[in-house]
Amino acid sequence: MNVTALVCSKCQRWYPPGRIYQLCECGKPLLVQYDLQRAARTLTRSALALRAPTLWRYREVLPVDEDAAIVSLGEGFTPLLACPRLAARLGVRALFIKDESANPTGTFKARGMAVAVSMARQLGLTRLAVPSAGNAAGALAAYAARAGLEADVFMPRDAPVANRREAEAYGARVILVDGLITECARRLAEEKGARGYFDVSTLKEPYRVEGKKTMAYELVEQLQGQVPDVILYPTGGGTGLIGMWKAFEEMEALGWIGPERPRMFAVQASGCAPIVRAFQQGKTEAEAEERAHTIAAGLRVPRPLGDFLILDILRRSRGGAVAVEDQEILDAMRELARVEGLFACPEGAACLPALKRLLAQGAIHPHACVVLFNTGSGLKYLDLWETALAP
């Protein structure tokens, strides 16, 4: 095992590995640290050629050390799609979309839940719970079923029907809550003691971020060892953005890359843009969105727990934060489908109007290599096509 400690992302307090943790005593997220010199002996790009195309190919920098604990449905190593027609339309040199809809359960949430549930199994936990706008609920339910564990999911009553039915099909106990994901989290906390849950909420346990970080490892592999100039990432809880930045730092220590980093841009919906506002105001933490609303359920997070980490990454990378309107998201879903054959979720589609705006403002150079993230399948949002997206 290469894990050396779990370290608080805020106060830097160290915790020994191999125990059950949620947050640091200061209330902030814990991040897993590794012996990267040791990992580098076997985790080489040449060695990866012989490994299975799943996120578990990066075992040396993942926290699970018992093979029997691994819970997998084949997650990871999703396509990096070159988009020449869209690039020509936008006037950008190189444009790629990392298509996370190819994951089990149809979204990037499979990555984090695969690692979190595997660690839960290794640590002897038996009942897991999560508040979710939709896709995390389905992913937890699937991996818990695969592992033989119990799962309880708390979802807003207006979450997409596909997500609710999916979680029910996997055998999870589904609790519908009036309000946003914040109310779901509050309800979970109220029941936690009585029902014996382990809370796998975004950043409230240390391991979902470890699964999400593998997106960056894959990017570097798929770009033949290169780091893209720009990444646009739909940001609700922001675990993927935090995880990828962590992965770039790890890859430098492993000798895969140098000090170069992509410029990271967080994309949010105008009806729920706490990170955008905080970034524009020069703040280090975000204020909660009081009336959060958007068709992109995964972006409807009033205030992410890792706000201070997200904002720091955006500034350190010389990136930024962009908010787009719901109508722009709908238009982008149609454009991606008809121009590149990609049936994107609304969260992923939000990256397209954000890129257009940044190019028009001169914030991104046309000669840049740009990667957009589509975090899930549009098939989970067919209700939008029945209403707002109907021809």
| Amino acid residing at 324 | V
Mention every residue, 6+ apart, whose C-beta is less than 8 A from residue 52: none
DSSP category for residue 229 = S
How far apart are alpha carbons 295 and 71 in whole angstroms?
32
How far apart are alpha carbons 78 and 390 in whole angstroms?
29
- Tell me the fold of 80-107+208-386: Rossmann fold (3.40.50)
3-state helix vs strand vs coil in the chain, percent to 5: 45, 20, 40
Contact 269, 328 (CB under 8 A): no
Q: What are phi and psi of 330, to 5 degrees?
A: -60, -45
Would you list the domain boundaries of the chain? 80-107+208-386
- Residue-level pLDDT at 389: 62
The DSSP annotation for 57-102 comes to GGGGGSS---GGG---SS-----EEE-HHHHHHHT-SEEEEEEGGG
210's tokens:
């470890």
Which residues partner with 268 through β-bridges? 323
Q: Give the pLDDT of the chain (391 residues) as one tens digit per residue.
A: 799 999 999 999 999 999 999 999 999 999 999 999 999 999 998 899 999 999 999 999 999 999 999 999 999 999 999 999 999 999 999 999 999 999 999 999 999 999 999 999 999 999 999 999 889 999 999 999 999 999 999 999 988 888 999 999 999 999 999 998 889 999 999 998 888 899 999 999 999 999 999 999 999 999 999 999 999 999 999 999 999 999 999 999 999 999 999 999 999 999 999 999 999 999 999 999 989 999 999 999 999 999 999 999 999 999 999 999 999 999 999 999 999 999 999 999 999 999 999 999 999 999 999 999 999 999 999 988 777 666 6
* 58-211-384 Cα angle (round to 5): 135
How far apart are alpha carbons 59 and 44 in whole angstroms?
12
pTM of the model: 0.96
Q: Number of helices and strands (H, E) in the chain?
A: 16, 13
What pairing do the DSSP bridges indicate for beta strands 320-324 and 369-374? unpaired
Contact 79, 95 (CB under 8 A): no
